[in-house]
Structure 1
Amino acid sequence: MCGIGGILGGAWAQRSGDAPAAMSRRLAHRGPDGEGMLWLTRGGVSAARPAAGSVEGVLVHRRLAILDPSEAGRQPMSTPDGRYHIVYNGEIYNYVELREELEAGGLRFSSGCDTEVLLAAWARWGEACLSRLVGMFAFAVHDAETGETTLARDLFGIKPLFYSTAGPGFAFASEIKALLTVPGVGRGADAQAVYDYLVWNMTGHDGRSFFADIRRLRPGFLVRVGRDGSVVEGPRRWGSIGLGGAERVPFEEAAERVRSVFLDNVRLHLRSDVEVGCALSGGVDSSAVVAGLRSVAGEDLKIRCFSHIAEDDPAINEERWVDLVAGRAGVEVIKSRPSGDDLARDLDGMIAAQDEPFGSTSIYAQCRVFRLAREHGVRVMLSGQGADELLAGYRPYTAARVATLLARGRLGAAGRLLWASRAWGDPKHTLMRALWLLAKPAVLGTGLSRRRLRRRSWLRAGWFAERGVVGRVATPRGGDRLRSMLHDSAFRTSLPALLRFEDRNAMAESIESRVPFLTPGLAGLLLSQPEEYLLGPDGETKRVFKAA
Structure 2
Amino acid sequence: MCGISGGYWRSPPVQLKQQMNESLLAMRRRGPDHRSFELISQITGTVVLGHTRLSIIDLTASAQQPMYSADLRYALVFNGEIYNYLELREELVGIGAIFRTNSDTEVLLQAWQRWGLQALNRLKGMFAFVVYDRQEQTLTCVRDAFGIKPFFYAIKESHFCFASELAAITPLMAERASLNWQRAYDYLVHGEYDFGEDCFVEGVRTLMPGHLLTVDLNSGRASEPEAWWRPSIVQTADISFAEASERLRDLFLDSVRLHLRSDVPLGAALSGGVDSSAIVCAMRYLEPDANIHTFSYIARGSLVSEEAWVDKVNGHVGASPNKIVVSAQELLADLPDLIAAQGEPFGSTSIYAQYRVFQEAKAKGITVTLEGQGADELHGGYIGYPGQRMRSMLDEASVLQAWRFLTEWSQWPGRNRLEGLKRLVGEFSHGRVHDMLRAANGMQSSPDWIRADVLREGGVRLGYPGIHGALNVRGRRLMCALASSVSQRGLLGLLRHGDRNSMRFSVESRVPFLTTDMADFMFSLPEHYLVSPSGETKHLLRASLRGIVPDEVLYRRDKVGFATPEQQWLVGMADVVRPWLKTDLGLPFLDQSKLLAQFEEVVAGRRPYSWQVWRWINFALWYRNLL
**Considering the TM-score relative to the shorter chain, is it more than 0.5?**
yes
1:186 aligns with one of 176, 179, 182: 176
2:456 aligns with one of 452, 465, 468: 465
After TM superposition, the structure 1 stretch with the greater mean CA deviation from structure 2, 103-112 or 236-245, is: 236-245
**How far did 1:396 drift?**
6.0
Q: Output the CA distance in 2 between the equivalents of 1:443 and 1:250.
A: 41
Contact 1:56 1:228 in 2 (8 A): no
Contact 2:5 2:162 in 1 (8 A): yes
1:321 matched to 2:309? The reply is: yes
TM-score of the pair, normalised by structure 2: 0.81
How many pairs are equivalent? 530
Unaligned runs of 5+ in 1: 44-53, 446-452
1:25 matched to 2:25? The reply is: yes
Matching residue of 2:491: 495
1:222 matched to 2:218? The reply is: no
1:304 aligns with one of 281, 284, 293: 293
Contact 1:177 1:355 in 2 (8 A): yes
Q: Output the CA distance in 1 between the equivalents of 2:217 and 2:251.
A: 42
1:330 aligns with one of 318, 329, 332: 318
Change in Cα spacing, 1:4 to 1:441, as seen in structure 2 (3 Å) is same
Q: Output the CA distance in 1 between the equivalents of 2:314 and 2:365.
A: 20
Q: Output the CA distance in 2 between the equivalents of 1:400 and 1:182.
A: 44
Matching residue of 1:59: 49
**How far did 1:25 drift?**
0.6
After TM superposition, the structure 1 stretch with the greater mean CA deviation from structure 2, 376-385 or 143-152, is: 143-152
RMSD: 2.2
Q: What secondary structure, in the 3-state scheme, does the structure 1 residue paired with 2:120 have?
A: helix
**Which residue identity is paired with 2:519?**
A
**How far did 1:246 drift?**
5.4
Q: What secondary structure, in the 3-state scheme, does the structure 2 residue paired with 1:18 have?
A: helix
2:348 aligns with one of 356, 360, 369: 360
**How far did 1:14 drift?**
4.5
Contact 1:10 1:229 in 2 (8 A): no
Give the percent of matched residue pairs that are identical in Structure 1 and Structure 2: 42
Matching residue of 1:480: 476
**Which residue identity is paired with 2:310?**
V
Q: Output the CA distance in 1 between the equivalents of 2:117 and 2:349.
A: 40
Q: Output the CA distance in 1 between the equivalents of 2:445 and 2:112.
A: 52
Q: What secondary structure, in the 3-state scheme, does the structure 2 residue paired with 1:149 have?
A: strand
**How far did 1:538 drift?**
1.6
Q: Output the CA distance in 2 between the equivalents of 1:160 and 1:442.
A: 33
Q: Output the CA distance in 2 between the equivalents of 1:540 and 1:258.
A: 17
Matching residue of 1:398: 386
**Which residue identity is paired with 1:6?**
G
Contact 1:95 1:114 in 2 (8 A): yes
TM-score of the pair, normalised by structure 1: 0.92
**How far did 1:460 drift?**
2.2
Q: Output the CA distance in 2 between the equivalents of 1:405 and 1:393.
A: 19
1:114 matched to 2:104? The reply is: yes
Write out aligned runs for 1:238-317 (5 A): 238-245=228-235, 247-297=237-287, 299-313=288-302, 315-317=303-305
Matching residue of 1:36: 36
The structure carrying a bigger strand percent of its residues is: 1
1:412 aligns with one of 379, 400, 415: 400
1:150 matched to 2:140? The reply is: yes
Q: Output the CA distance in 2 between the equivalents of 1:185 and 1:214.
A: 12
**How far did 1:218 drift?**
1.0
Q: Output the CA distance in 1 between the equivalents of 2:345 and 2:364.
A: 29
**How far did 1:476 drift?**
5.9
1:348 matched to 2:336? The reply is: yes
Unaligned runs of 5+ in 2: 436-443, 545-627
Runs of 4+ in 1 over 4 A off after TM superposition: 439-445
Q: Output the CA distance in 1 between the equivalents of 2:209 and 2:434.
A: 23
**How far did 1:182 drift?**
2.1
1:176 matched to 2:166? The reply is: yes
Change in Cα spacing, 1:213 to 1:476, as seen in structure 2 (3 Å) is closer
**How far did 1:165 drift?**
1.9
**How far did 1:444 drift?**
8.4
Q: What secondary structure, in the 3-state scheme, does the structure 2 residue paired with 1:29 have?
A: coil
**How far did 1:433 drift?**
1.8
**How far did 1:392 drift?**
1.6
Contact 2:426 2:434 in 1 (8 A): no
Q: 1:189-229: CA deviations, max 9, x gaps?
A: 22222232233322221111111121111111111113268
Change in Cα spacing, 1:349 to 1:454, as seen in structure 2 (3 Å) is closer
1:521 matched to 2:517? The reply is: yes
Change in Cα spacing, 1:246 to 1:405, as seen in structure 2 (3 Å) is farther
**Which residue identity is paired with 2:482?**
L
Matching residue of 1:46: none
Q: 1:350-401: CA deviations, max 9, x gaps?
A: 1001111112111111111000000000000000001111112111612221
Contact 2:384 2:531 in 1 (8 A): no
**How far did 1:238 drift?**
2.1
Contact 1:29 1:508 in 2 (8 A): yes
Q: Output the CA distance in 2 between the equivalents of 1:296 and 1:178.
A: 39
Q: Output the CA distance in 2 between the equivalents of 1:439 and 1:37.
A: 51
Change in Cα spacing, 1:29 to 1:114, as seen in structure 2 (3 Å) is same
Q: 1:154-199: CA deviations, max 9, x gaps?
A: 1101000101124611011000001111251432122222232233
